[in-house]
Amino acid sequence: MIKFYSINGELVPKEQASLGVTDLSIQRGYGLFDYFVVKKGQPLFFEDYLDRVERSAKWLHLELPITKEELREQILRLIRANGEQEAGIKVILTGGYAADGYSPERSNLIILEMPPPVYPKSKFEQGVKLMGYDYHRTFPSAKSINYIVGIYLLPQQQAAGAEDVLFHSNGEIYETTRANFFIVKQDDTIVTAGEGILHGITRKKLLEVAKHHYAIEERKPTLEELKTAKEAFITSSTRLLMPVVQVDDVTIGDGKPGSVTSHLLELMKAEVERYLSVN
């Protein structure tokens, strides 16, 4: 039972966890977040996520009010207090209570715990569809809380039966609203954007394990390449790796999850087990 959140280092019953309305997240949508899963009581790839919180904060000129080591301790204390073995953790760092409603002040730090999302098996077995959208995220390399485009498009995405929205610009594919995107070419080369994106931790781990088995090109795949791609997939903290079989009207490969995607998912599952066994 998840009973607590952490607000500026204090464990608070989650129904009472709140921020004053002058916080810059509420006033101006200014803040950052990160999200990772807890497996067998352990935050998965913990160090990488803590590092990314630091990087995002630096990028957005927000000061983390505690050290990375203290952040680690606050997160572990929350996990212990709630006692869940399997969960999701979200860290939010906001612009703080802004006297003028605009300029960042001392950040508020929120740590939330929630049940891990459960995806139907069918999405992994049959693959999912994405909806394309011509857009390139503002400051993609910082994990800001700015999701205006993705949330604005939700009704359209749901009407299209799409799992997520795929951002492309000038024919080049960047990422989805909440995941990194990959194609597998006919020669099994893996292609994924190397810049202009949020550098996902799952993306990083995927590239580390994949490079021993496949050629990798870190450059933006094009919309044109989608038509001749053998496979496609997305990576994210909650999904690890999910096959993509359609983007708008374009069917990827034979419309079924492919063998490279399956192989990579197995490699990632093994990497997760390896991490949990040594940490």
* Among residues 2, 28, 66, 188, the one that binds a second copy under rule CB under 8 A: 28
Closest CA to 74 of 6, 25, 15: 6
Collapsing DSSP states into helix, strand and coil, what is residue 209? helix
Instruction: Supply the minimum distance, in Å, between the C-beta of residue 52 and a second copy.
Output: 17
* Among residues 31, 96, 132, 200, the one that binds a second copy under rule CB under 8 A: 31
User: In the stretch 194-223, what mask flags binding to a second copy with x, by CB under 8 A?
Assistant: ------------------------------
- Residue 257, interface with a second copy (CB under 8 A)? no
Contact 107, 53 (CB under 8 A): no
Q: Which stretch binds a second copy (CB under 8 A): 15-23, 124-132, 181-189, 218-226?
A: 15-23
| Two tokens, residue 66 | 């505690």
Instruction: Supply the minimum distance, in Å, between the C-beta of residue 44 and a second copy.
Output: 18
Dist. CA 127–CA 144, nearest whole Å: 28
* Among residues 120, 155, 187, 212, the one that binds a second copy under rule CB under 8 A: 155
Q: Output 206-210 pairs: Cβ under 8 A, ≥24 positions apart.
A: 206/182, 206/235, 206/241, 206/264, 206/268, 208/271, 209/264, 209/267, 209/268, 209/270, 209/271, 210/264, 210/267
Q: DSSP per residue over 89-121, as a string?
A: EEEEEE--B-TTSSS--SPPEEEEEEPPP---H
Instruction: Supply the minimum distance, in Å, between the C-beta of residue 18 and a second copy.
Output: 4
| Two tokens, residue 171 | 């024919």
Dist. CA 236–CA 36, nearest whole Å: 9
Contact 45, 36 (CB under 8 A): yes
- Between residues 24 and 247, which has the closer beta carbon with respect to a second copy? 24
Residue 165, number of CB atoms within 10 A of its CB: 22
- Residue 147, interface with a second copy (CB under 8 A)? yes
* Among residues 8, 42, 141, 146, the one that binds a second copy under rule CB under 8 A: 146
Instruction: Supply the minimum distance, in Å, between the C-beta of residue 21 and a second copy.
Output: 5
Dist. CA 233–CA 262, nearest whole Å: 10
* Among residues 1, 21, 118, 278, the one that binds a second copy under rule CB under 8 A: 21
Instruction: Supply the minimum distance, in Å, between the C-beta of residue 130 and a second copy.
Output: 16
- Residue 9, interface with a second copy (CB under 8 A)? no
- Between residues 19 and 191, which has the closer beta carbon with respect to a second copy? 19
- Between residues 180 and 192, which has the closer beta carbon with respect to a second copy? 180
* Among residues 2, 8, 26, 275, the one that binds a second copy under rule CB under 8 A: 26
Sites for a second copy among residues 51-110 (CB under 8 A): 60-61, 90, 92, 94-95, 100-104, 110
Q: Which pairing describes strands 240-247 and 128-134: parallel, antiparallel, or unpaired?
A: parallel
Specify the residue for token string 């390449």.
225
Residues near a second copy (CB under 8 A) are: 5, 7, 15, 17-31, 33, 60-61, 90, 92, 94-95, 100-104, 110, 112, 114, 117, 135, 138-139, 144-152, 154-155
